[in-house]
Chains A and B, each alone.
Chain A
Amino acid sequence: MFLTRLTSSPDFYTLLYLAVGLLLAFNLLEIVFLLVHKRRIERTEERKETLKRRILTAAVTVTAPSEVLPKPLTDDDYEAYGEATSSIIESFEGEITERAAGLIHDFGIDLYYKRLSGHRVWYKRAHAIDILSSLKLERSREFFFAAFEKETSNTVKYRILYGLSLLVQGSEDIRAISRMLSTLPYLTAKYTEDVFINIVTVIKNSGREDEFGAFLKEIMTDAGVHTKVKRDCLSACRAAACERAGPIVREYYKTFQAEPEIIIACIKTLVAMGDFSILPDVLRHKDWRVRLTALKYAHLSNSDIKHDPKTLLHDPKFHFAVLPGILRHKDWRMRLTDLKHAHLHSTGILRALQPLLHDPNYHIRLNAALALSKMGGRGLEMLWAEADSPDKFAADAAKYALDSAGDAA
């Protein structure tokens, strides 16, 4: 009804032109606004980059950079100072980091980020915490503890704990971080491991490595600490080479026989410390993942366990027994995974490996050739035969494996 009246109105076309004109004007204004805004952002970024370069040059070339640099006035200035100084502290050590620390102190860069960490928007708080973490200032330690108590977002809390892990001063701090970590949902193995790697690195640098061993012992029987966290602590021990914790890791191995993940972490950590004493035992562990992990290190050990890998080949529950079947699996990732262990299998597997040299997947061809080369004898003979194959891809894989075997020899 309304539409009929509108279209039959004598002013219809006038109104239509007016509406189209208004829309056009609005769109034009919008485009102009976006272009102006883009230019403004670009100019701000350019200005920030120029200032950042100036700060970096001053930090590299001048003994007291704060005497030649302008005092930061705007948020962008502080951002430039924060990014430049944190980048120096993260990548370098020595004199240049002392100059960056001087700049932070003289211009109150950390104070700015401490203020920003109280912002109502969580990602601004997270950004402020990230920069404060990378500045690694001892005076931020107390601030981080207080910020964790006040913080409402878990995302920001994870970052605060990461920052704190770079500033630990002793066993009390390690315990506090562990307690704070247990109040949050488990994030990822990588995150927890990184936090503990930072802790081990910091306390190792301050000559208090034993304190991490003591902490590991404390949490071993603490039911309040999740098994995954215990596993990540052991992994951190390996990654940060906390060698004094070796005896405690062996205690973990004895205590957590029913926890394959802990046992696997213990194997990796002890092997990294040069301790192969648990290998004979773990090669007979009931969980195949534990046996597989141990097998990867078996060749590094002394000869008295050399019979164990061979025994495993006849283990009906062990996956080597089904290896020839998996080598023909329709998913190339399955074929690839087992190819990596194929050379440990008996020579009966040669027949299963040979067709894989013609597999359409590059990784499969390459790993099949490498497995054959590691088997020596008939494996190498097969590779020599394939090196002249009319299948160019198979021939390339065979030649590559033969070259590698030659280099290794």
Chain B
Amino acid sequence: MAKILVVDDDDTIILVFRTHLTKAGYTVETAVDGVDAFAKIPAFKPDLILLDINMPKMSGFELAKRLKESPETKNIPIFIMTSLKQEANIKKGYDLGIEEYLTKPTNVAHLLLRVNKFFEKSRSC
């Protein structure tokens, strides 16, 4: 079963994502900021990270940068989910090597479709 790490400091997002992704059959772990996520990744070994940008302690960009720099974690796919819609932020995200940059408000049904398609595609590769 694919494992997804949801990193967001908003309780609502965590609860909604956890409920829907678990219902869809994924194993879900959550983290409230970049530092928390960084600590959980080695043990949880996620197949996908859903990452917010604006978080306390360590931002999503910083976490993505660290993950993509490390040989052990550089292949973990990252979907950024943020309310930051500026072109500069989108470019920054893709420059860091993330797979998807999705902006809030999130349509949960659409997100599930994207996640499912992403795993189908990775399995077929």
> Which size class do B's interface residues fall under?
10 to 19
Question: Assuming the A-B contacts A61-B19, A239-B86, A272-B87, are A56 and B108 also in contact, with contact meaning beta carbons closer than 8 angstroms in the complex?
Answer: no
Q: Contact at A93–B20, with CB atoms within 8 Å? A: no
Q: Contact at A92–B19, with CB atoms within 8 Å? A: no
Which residues from chain B contact A95 at a C-beta distance below 8 Å? 108-109
Say whether A60 faces chain B, with CB atoms less than 8 Å apart: yes
Which residues from chain A contact B86 at a C-beta distance below 8 Å? 239
Most chain B CB neighbours (cut-off 10 Å) among A53, A57, A94, A272: A94
Say whether B107 faces chain A, with CB atoms less than 8 Å apart: yes
Which residues from chain A contact B13 at a C-beta distance below 8 Å? 91
Q: How far is the CA of A272 from the CA of B20 in the complex (A)?
A: 36
Most chain A CB neighbours (cut-off 10 Å) among B12, B105, B109: B12
Name the one of B15, B20, B105, B106 contacting A56, with C-beta atoms under 8 angstroms: B15
B87 (CB) vs chain A CBs: closest residue? A272
A131-174 interface bits toward B, Cβ cutoff 8 Å, 1 = contact, 0 = none: 00000000000000000000000000000000000000000000
Number of contacts between A and B (CB, 8 Å)? 51
A67-99 interface bits toward B, Cβ cutoff 8 Å, 1 = contact, 0 = none: 000000000000000001001111111111100
Say whether B11 faces chain A, with CB atoms less than 8 Å apart: yes
Say whether B104 faces chain A, with CB atoms less than 8 Å apart: yes
Q: Contact at B106–A57, with CB atoms within 8 Å? A: no
B8 (CB) vs chain A CBs: closest residue? A91
Say whether B66 faces chain A, with CB atoms less than 8 Å apart: no
Say whether B10 faces chain A, with CB atoms less than 8 Å apart: yes
Which residues from chain B contact A94 at a C-beta distance below 8 Å? 107-110
Question: Assuming the A-B contacts A87-B10, A91-B10, are A60 and B107 also in contact, with contact meaning beta carbons closer than 8 angstroms in the complex?
Answer: no
Name the one of A53, A89, A92, A239 contacting B85, with C-beta atoms under 8 angstroms: A239
B1-38 interface bits toward A, Cβ cutoff 8 Å, 1 = contact, 0 = none: 00000000011110110011000000000000000000
B104 (CB) vs chain A CBs: closest residue? A91
Q: How far is the CA of A293 from the CA of B4 in the complex (A)?
A: 42
Number of residues from A at the complex interface, CB < 8 A: 20
Q: Contact at A60–B109, with CB atoms within 8 Å? A: no
Q: How far is the CA of A7 from the CA of B75 in the complex (A)?
A: 82
Taking the closest CB of chain B, its distance from the CB of A83, in whole angstroms, is 9
Question: Assuming the A-B contacts A239-B86, A272-B87, are A57 and B19 also in contact, with contact meaning beta carbons closer than 8 angstroms in the complex?
Answer: yes
Name the one of A60, A90, A91, A272 contacting B19, with C-beta atoms under 8 angstroms: A60
Question: Assuming the A-B contacts A53-B11, A56-B11, A84-B12, are A93 and B107 also in contact, with contact meaning beta carbons closer than 8 angstroms in the complex?
Answer: yes
Which residues from chain A contact B104 at a C-beta distance below 8 Å? 90-92
Q: Contact at A57–B109, with CB atoms within 8 Å? A: no
Name the one of B10, B15, B87 contacting A60, with C-beta atoms under 8 angstroms: B15
Please provide the chain A residues from 269 to 305 with a CB less than 8 Å away from any CB of chain B in the complex.
272
B107 (CB) vs chain A CBs: closest residue? A94
A49-65 interface bits toward B, Cβ cutoff 8 Å, 1 = contact, 0 = none: 00011001100110000
Name the one of A60, A90, A239 contacting B105, with C-beta atoms under 8 angstroms: A90
Q: Contact at B16–A92, with CB atoms within 8 Å? A: yes
Q: How far is the CA of A96 from the CA of B109 in the complex (A)?
A: 10
Q: Contact at B12–A88, with CB atoms within 8 Å? A: yes
Name the one of A56, A61, A93, A239 contacting B12, with C-beta atoms under 8 angstroms: A56
Q: Contact at B12–A91, with CB atoms within 8 Å? A: yes
Taking the closest CB of chain A, its distance from the CB of B90, in whole angstroms, is 12
Q: How far is the CA of A182 from the CA of B104 in the complex (A)?
A: 31
Name the one of B10, B15, B110 contacting A57, with C-beta atoms under 8 angstroms: B15
B85 (CB) vs chain A CBs: closest residue? A239
Q: How far is the CA of A61 from the CA of B85 in the complex (A)?
A: 29
A215-251 interface bits toward B, Cβ cutoff 8 Å, 1 = contact, 0 = none: 0000000000000000000000001000000000000
Q: List 9 A-B contacts (CB under 8 A).
A: A52-B11, A53-B11, A60-B19, A84-B12, A91-B10, A92-B107, A93-B106, A94-B107, A239-B86
Show the binding face of B for A, using Cβ within 8 Å. 10-13, 15-16, 19-20, 85-87, 104-110
Q: What are the 7 A-B residue pairs with the smallest beta carbon separation, nearest first?
A: A87-B12, A94-B107, A93-B105, A60-B19, A93-B107, A56-B15, A92-B105
